[in-house]
Amino acid sequence: MSVSTEIRVAVETHVSGAQAPGRKRAAAASVSLRLLGYIALAVASVGLLLPFVWMLVSSLKRNIDVFTVPIQWIPDPVVWENYLTIWQRTNMGTWLGNTLFISVIVTVLQVLTGAFAAYGFARVRFPGRDILFLAYIGTIAVPWQAIMIPQFIMMSNWGLANTRWSIILLQAFGAFGVFLMKQYFESIPESLNEAARIDGLNEYGIWWRIMMPLSVPAIASLTLLTFVNTWNDFLGPLLYLRDNSLWTVQVGLRTFIGQFASEHAMIMTGSVLSVLPIAIIFFLGQRYFVEGIASTGVKG
């Protein structure tokens, strides 16, 4: 080995030895930051889940035990009869059926109309497209309370008040769904559309046979968000649905609130029954939901 080679090896050994403590400190700092992040996430998760745990526990209590101080986290006694009583005293089955019917129909319509309009904004070029899209998305900023009276008058004139179709028609179109699907469509290479046009496929066929199958994550995200929003809607059914046989579960739970006293245990029991379908749907579709939300901002 030459003298110059020995000198270079010695210098590299000295430099690497000097950098080793710095690397160890950086690795230790990275592990510490990651650990702190996990702890923060765990604390936040507990904070988010705590109200649901309290709701579940309260559904197994007597009415006088719901708001005890301090909170009684283990019911004593455990009143399993609450889940039987709520079915016997109310039209819970009818309310859940109405809620499911409205939520499914609205979700299907919003996904279809939102995806169809989004394809036009993402792939079809026409004068004023961008301005029209911005104006349509701008309607998200308009609170529903500002337009609910004109809408109610319109539905009453059409003879649709006090019917489930009034809720369905009002929520069949949504600007958020158009925005979400447009962002995802723009992440799909446009070369696929051009190849399909060369093969003789029209725009409707491209939308249905190419864009929709490739947009499963975004469709799953929009489906979940729309279903949850419609399922939890209270003001719309309260305004339009007056007959007990048409109520949704959210409006039905209002019957447990009296002028001088409320049955909070029954309210919590009904809330648990209302949350269960949403929890099951999210559990089954969470992978597609996360993937769809993460990829809507990525353009190809």
pLDDT < 70 positions in the chain: 1-22, 259-260, 288-300
**Domain spans of the chain, in order of start:** 3-58, 81-295
Question: Which of 128, 125, 232, 138 shows the shortest CA–CA distance to 178?
Answer: 138
CA 272 to chain centre: 18
Q: What integer pLDDT is reported at residue 65 of this predicted model? A: 87
Q: Cα-flanking dihedrals φ and ψ of residue 160, to 5°?
A: -105, -5
Q: What integer pLDDT is reported at residue 291 of this predicted model? A: 65
Say whether 259 sits in a helix, a strand or coil. coil
Q: Is 277 exposed, middle or buried (0-12, 13-18, 19+ CB in 10 A)?
A: middle
> Across the strands, what pairs with 257?
262
Task: Count the neighbouring beta carbons within 10 Å of the beta carbon of residue 177.
Answer: 26
Q: What integer pLDDT is reported at residue 11 of this predicted model? A: 46
Homologous superfamily assigned to 81-295:
MetI-like (1.10.3720.10)
Q: What integer pLDDT is reported at residue 220 of this predicted model? A: 87
Residue 159 structure tokens: 């003879």
Q: What integer pLDDT is reported at residue 21 of this predicted model? A: 64
What size, in residues, is the chain?
300
